[in-house]
Amino acid sequence: MNKKRIKQLLTVCACVVLSLVMATVAFASDVTMSSVSTTMTNEFKTMVGEMMGVVGTMLPIVLPLMGLSILVAFSVRWFKRIAGM
């Protein structure tokens, strides 16, 4: 990744964390640091679980497509070598 992309990613992550903290403060009547920490930990665990679910769902679709594209690329390369192109 280039530096610009990393900077954009960090900016988005900071905005997400800030919005989570602000939402926790806005909707909680008794806010302590431990409640903010617990809420953020639980939310991040939920996000990780959902992302792993997406990866688990997409993996059976993506792997055969990548294998097929690699097979086609090697076949074209092999044919060009055999045909002398």
Instruction: Using DSSP, state whether 30 is helix, strand or coil.
Output: coil
Mean pLDDT of the chain: 84
| pLDDT, tens only, 52-74 | 999 899 999 999 999 999 999 99
Q: Is the pLDDT of residue 76 over 90?
A: yes
| Cβ atoms within 10 Å of 24's Cβ, excluding its own | 17
Domain residue limits, the chain: 3-83
> What is residue 62's predicted lDDT score, i.e. its pLDDT?
92
| Gyration radius of the chain's alpha carbons | 23
